[in-house]
């Protein structure tokens, strides 16, 4: 791993690692699924705690490259796969793995992606308006903004960013698109800031919610999330656990709902899982002081019972 990769790994601290390891109880005979391996921080913690095998997925090829370096000391125990986490059934079926002994999903965007140059996730730098987690396929945000209607864009910004000024922001973006297409993060952030009235501005940068919404939109982050969670739960052996860390309130709501439904009575009179966290666990004050980006994390865990 070169110095650039080392720097990126240091900049991305995995969130709530101790809590995750405690729930999953890794052992030498356990195969654990890391559905969103990222830079490999959670997988490394599991391997250091004694996990026998890790299957790690990510749709970001750059993240997988970094994870390969992070986990190089356990190369014989780790298989990294370029795949969307929602393809989990296909990934496991192709490898002849019917069940796993635990799973972790760290949803959303990593610090490595935020800080990565040229990705377009952050408005702190003026760079191409991309925001794709998998840059090998699909349209960029700039592409999507060329064809979207004002009503649809306002709905995206309100739904995924919970932005109260979504209509004003969408109108400002589309008015600019008519004059000259928006192609950089700096141009977009400036437009959003002008659209949000000073009196109604939050303490965070006015562009934050809109950038979040567009990122969720371009990556289809909420599409199929419920089906993915159900698939992982069905792949667990009895007694195995699934830990999910969410940063977005909409994602956490889906996790809560799916775990609750699977923990209720199914058609045959049995629950599939037992919910282990009545309320989501939050990072400690010490962790937040070391890693401010952890402050919005919520961890939920469930155990396969049938």
Look at residues 252, 152, 97, 73 and name the one whose alpha carbon lies nearest to residue 81.
97
Q: What pLDDT sits at residue 121?
A: 76
Tokens 């923990």 map to which residue? 263
What burial class does residue 49 get, using C-beta atoms within 10 Å of its C-beta: 0-12 exposed, 13-18 middle, 19+ buried? middle
What is the chain's pLDDT, residue by residue, as a tens digit (306 residues)? 333 333 333 446 799 999 999 999 999 999 999 999 999 999 999 999 999 999 999 998 988 999 999 999 999 999 999 999 999 999 999 999 999 999 999 997 655 556 666 677 788 889 999 999 888 888 999 999 999 999 999 999 999 999 999 999 999 999 999 999 999 999 999 999 999 987 766 678 899 999 999 999 999 889 999 999 999 999 999 999 999 999 988 999 999 999 999 997 544 557 999 999 999 999 999 999 998 889 999 999 999 998
The runs of H, that is alpha helices, within the chain are: 3-11, 17-24, 41-48, 61-70, 88-94, 111-115, 141-147, 150-161, 166-179, 185-195, 208-218, 225-235, 249-262, 285-290
Q: What is the DSSP letter of 204?
A: S
Q: How far is CA 42 from CA 10, 15, 92, 103, in A?
A: 13, 8, 20, 11
Q: What pLDDT sits at residue 119?
A: 76
Domains of the chain: 3-108+222-304 (3.40.50.150), 118-218 (1.10.150.170)
Look at residues 162, 166, 219 and name the one whose alpha carbon lies nearest to residue 192.
166
* Helix (H), strand (E) at residue 34: strand 31-34
First to last CA, the chain: 42
The answer to whether the beta carbons of residues 245 and 107 sit under 8 Å apart is: yes
């Amino acid at each position: 791993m070169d110095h650039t990769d080392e720097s990126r790994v240091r900049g991305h601290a995995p969130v709530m690692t101790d809590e995750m390891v405690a729930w999953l109880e890794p052992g030498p005979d356990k195969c654990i699924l890391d559905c969103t391996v990222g830079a490999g921080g959670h997988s490394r913690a599991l391997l250091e705690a004694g996990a026998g095998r890790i299957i790690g997925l990510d749709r970001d090829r750059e993240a997988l490259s970094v994870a390969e370096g992070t986990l190089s000391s356990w190369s014989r125990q780790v298989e990294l796969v370029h795949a969307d986490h929602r393809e989990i059934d296909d990934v496991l079926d192709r490898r002849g793995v019917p069940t796993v002994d635990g799973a972790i999903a760290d949803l959303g965007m990593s610090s490595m992606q935020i800080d990565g140059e040229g990705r377009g996730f952050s408005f702190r730098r003026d760079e191409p308006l991309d925001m794709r987690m998998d840059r090998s396929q699909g349209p960029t945000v700039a592409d999507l903004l060329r064809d979207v209607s004002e009503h649809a864009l306002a709905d995206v910004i309100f739904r995924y960013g919970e932005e109260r000024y979504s209509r004003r922001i969408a109108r400002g973006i589309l008015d600019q698109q008519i004059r000259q297409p928006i192609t950089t993060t700096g141009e977009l952030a400036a437009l959003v800031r002008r659209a949000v009235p000073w009196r109604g501005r939050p303490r965070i940068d006015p562009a934050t919610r809109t950038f979040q919404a567009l990122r969720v939109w371009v990556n289809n982050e909420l599409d199929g999330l419920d089906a993915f969670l159900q698939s992982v739960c069905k792949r667990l052996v009895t007694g195995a656990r699934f830990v999910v860390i969410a940063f977005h309130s909409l994602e956490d709501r889906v996790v809560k709902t799916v775990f609750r439904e699977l923990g209720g009575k199914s058609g045959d009179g049995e629950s599939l899982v037992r919910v282990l966290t009545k309320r989501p666990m939050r990072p400690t004050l010490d962790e937040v002081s070391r890693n401010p980006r952890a402050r919005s994390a919520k961890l939920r865990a469930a155990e396969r019972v049938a």
